[in-house]
Amino acid sequence: MGAYWIGTFFGAVLGGFLWSRLWLWISKLAVKADPQRLYVSYAIAWVTAVALGAYGLAEGGPPDWPRSLLTYTPALLLWLVFDLFRLRGKAARVGVSGRADA
């Protein structure tokens, strides 16, 4: 794995974080259930990130779908797993103390 791929992955992680947060914020207005909101937001973020990435990675040619999938899927899965663990921890704190801000 070369420096190019490492840089591309870290760029996808940063972009995936910002893109997923945007969709989480937008979906907060419409959907109140946290696990469902996560899944819907990340599905939309994944589809749009892969589509935009395919055209961005095209370098003047046709969209590069395989490279876009290999770049953005692991990055967004990383943030999805992080948010699921964070949500699970929040639920455990609420269950112990009875308050959401504990």
For residue 102, pLDDT over 50 is answered with: no
Alpha-helix runs per DSSP H in the chain: 3-28, 34-56, 65-97
Distance CA 100, CA 94 (A): 5
Does residue 8 fall inside a structural domain? no
- The pTM of the full predicted model, rounded to 2 decimals, is 0.80
Domain that holds residue 42: 16-91
Does residue 50 fall inside a structural domain? yes
Q: Which two tokens stand for residue 89?
A: 């921890």
> Over the chain, what is the mean pLDDT?
86
For residue 64, pLDDT over 90 is answered with: yes
User: What's the domain count of the chain?
Assistant: 1
Does residue 63 fall inside a structural domain? yes
Does residue 97 fall inside a structural domain? no
Helix or strand holding residue 1 (H, E) = none
For residue 31, pLDDT over 80 is answered with: no
Distance CA 81, CA 16 (A): 13
Does residue 22 fall inside a structural domain? yes
